[in-house]
Amino acid sequence: MEKIKVFHVVTLLELGGAQQNTLFTVSHLNRDKFEVGLICGLGGYLDEEAKKIPQLKVYFVNELVRPIHPLNDFIALIKIYKILKKEGPQIVHTHSSKAGIVGRIAAWLLGVPCIIHSIHGFGFNPFQKIWTRKLFIFLEKWIGKFTERLIAVTKENIQEGLSLGIGKAEQYTLIRSGVDIKKIKKEAENSNPELLRKELGISPQSKIILNVAPFKIQKDPVTFIKMAGLVLQNIPQVQFLMVGDGELRTNIEKEIKKQDIEKNIQLLGWRRDIPQILQISDLFVLTSLWEGLPRAAVEALIVGNPVIAFAVDGLKEIIKNNQNGFLIPPSQVNEMAEKIVQILQDQSLLQSLKKNASQTIDDSFDIYNMVIKQEELYQKLTRITQ
């Protein structure tokens, strides 16, 4: 049987949910059925990991960058076009907003039979300059016309896309952003909480609040620091851990000094032992301004961490108030801090939330099921477009 050649295109291999899931997909697609390639920008945290994946052709395009840059974007388009022309894939599957635009245009110009785009949250948001937002919406509507299938990770993204005229209902497919449920549970259960607390210099009595996210505008990490300051006014011994890094690190450090909470907060950088850190944490808190379906929140629930977050996008599909966490009206940092204090001071409520959190995530979020669903979609669409 002839293999189906699939090329994935992603802007940058950062240590984010969309990027990790893309890397997992290209490494786990059945090599008896698929020939797999990957095109991405250069300089991501996961670049070396991509190079080590067996039977994967990896192309790095220097000009494929996140910011809008007409010259770089045009050069990236030409380079991706040439790569696709050389490789001749039947399917091009793009991820992230910039790669989704540039990659799909290149595939369309070449006449690739099947073009797929995964929406890990749209590239436009209410906080952009109005012309930037309108440009992204226009491009998504136009490119959607020659996209065979739009894979969404949340129902919320599907409804938003349709309301803006991006694609038609029949173009959308819901495939959850998967995580390795068994691996996460095993790593958490086999961890050594006492040793990790000692490594981090946190006493056994201290409550721990965790945030895992890149330090960028979307995740609004400075608001997390403001929230921490408010919580510490009521419970001075709470410890806050932030796993991640990025462009807003300096802003975060300034806010920590301003709040005078250096002794209560640690910036851990990027780490690969998230399940172990979740195991010692009491609450997982996100202050995102907008989201797709944050992988970190799903992982937190699996380990039994209640999630406190602003009520945005896909989070509304997995967090239920007073069951496995709480959703706070967007940007209401005082209300978020009050809710966290309430939970930490009510051990019965905290334990109830933890128990429910651990029972939230079902097999639809399993990363192996995610790959199987994509394989089935590739085979179905290949038959249709032949």
Position 342 scores a pLDDT of 98
* The pLDDT of residue 123 is above 90: no
Per-residue H/E/C for the chain: CCCEEEEEEECCCCCCHHHHHHHHHHHHCCCCCEEEEEEECCCCCCHHHHHCCCCEEEEECCCCCCCCCHHHHHHHHHHHHHHHHHHCCCEEEEECHHHHHHHHHHHHHHCCCEEEEEECCCCCCCCCCHHHHHHHHHHHHHHHCCCCEEEECCHHHHHHHHHCCCCCHHHEEECCCCECHHHHHHHHHCCCHHHHHHHHCCCCCCCEEEEECCCCHHHCHHHHHHHHHHHHHHCCCCEEEEECCCCCHHHHHHHHHHHCCHHHEEEEECCCCHHHHHHHCCEEEECCCCCCCCHHHHHHHHHCCCEEEECCHHHHHCCCECCCEEEECCCCHHHHHHHHHHHHCCHHHHHHHHHHHCCCCCHHHEHHHHHHHHHHHHHHHHHHHC
Residues 163 and 311 both lie in one domain: no
The mean pLDDT of 31-35, rounded to a whole number, is 97
- By CB neighbour count within 10 A (0-12 exposed, 13-18 middle, 19+ buried), where does 108 fall? middle
Residues 357 and 371 both lie in one domain: no
* Structure confidence at residue 370 as a pLDDT band (50, 70, 90): very high
User: What percentage of residues in the chain have a pLDDT greater than 90?
Assistant: 90
Compute the distance between CA of residue 337 and CA of residue 356 in angstroms, rounded to an integer: 21
Position 365 scores a pLDDT of 95
The mean pLDDT of 69-79, rounded to a whole number, is 96
Indicate the number of domains in the chain. Answer: 2
Q: Is the dihedral of CA 273, 347, 235, 320 positive or negative?
A: positive
* The pLDDT of residue 124 is above 90: no
From the centroid of its chain, how far is CA 385?
30
Residues 28 and 121 both lie in one domain: yes
Position 14 scores a pLDDT of 86
Compute the distance between CA of residue 300 and CA of residue 362 in angstroms, rounded to an integer: 14
Which two tokens mark 125? 């948001």
Kindly report the average pLDDT of the chain as a whole number.
Answer: 95
Determine how β-strand 208-212 pairs with β-strand 172-174.
Answer: unpaired
Mind listing the pLDDT tens digit for each residue in 231-242? 999 999 999 999
Compute the distance between CA of residue 162 and CA of residue 25 in angstroms, rounded to an integer: 27
Residues 53 and 69 both lie in one domain: yes
Compute the distance between CA of residue 37 and CA of residue 59 in angstroms, rounded to an integer: 8
Residues 238 and 172 both lie in one domain: no
Region for 165 from its dihedrals, namely left if φ exceeds 0, alpha if ψ lies in -120 to 50, beta otherwise: left
Mind listing the pLDDT tens digit for each residue in 290-325? 988 899 999 999 999 999 999 998 899 999 999 999
Residues 33 and 166 both lie in one domain: yes
Residues 41 and 187 both lie in one domain: no
Q: Give the torsion through C-alpha atoms of 275, 309, 248, 245, to 10 deg.
A: 10
* The pLDDT of residue 336 is above 70: yes
Compute the distance between CA of residue 237 and CA of residue 383 in angstroms, rounded to an integer: 60
pTM here is: 0.91
Residues 230 and 377 both lie in one domain: no
Residues 220 and 144 both lie in one domain: no
* Structure confidence at residue 386 as a pLDDT band (50, 70, 90): low
* Range(s) of the domain holding residue 27: 4-178+366-385
The CATH number linked to 105 is 3.40.50.2000
Mind listing the pLDDT tens digit for each residue in 75-88? 999 999 999 999 99
Which residues lie closer than 8 Å to 144 by C-beta, 6 or more apart? 150, 161, 166, 167, 171
* Structure confidence at residue 16 as a pLDDT band (50, 70, 90): confident
Compute the distance between CA of residue 247 and CA of residue 64 in angstroms, rounded to an integer: 18
Mind listing the pLDDT tens digit for each residue in 79-116? 999 999 999 999 999 998 899 999 999 999 999 999 99
Mind listing the pLDDT tens digit for each residue in 137-168? 999 999 999 999 999 999 999 999 999 999 99
Residues 165 and 293 both lie in one domain: no
Q: Are 45 and 131 in contact (CB under 8 A)?
A: no
Residues 376 and 325 both lie in one domain: no
* The pLDDT of residue 22 is above 80: yes
Q: For the sheet containing 4-10, what is the strand order? A: 56-60, 34-40, 4-10, 91-95, 114-119, 149-152, 172-174
* The pLDDT of residue 125 is above 90: no
* The pLDDT of residue 341 is above 90: yes
Position 31 scores a pLDDT of 97
Which residues lie closer than 8 Å to 66 by C-beta, 6 or more apart? 11, 12, 41, 96, 98
* Structure confidence at residue 17 as a pLDDT band (50, 70, 90): confident
Compute the distance between CA of residue 244 and CA of residue 266 in angstroms, rounded to an integer: 11
Residues 91 and 170 both lie in one domain: yes
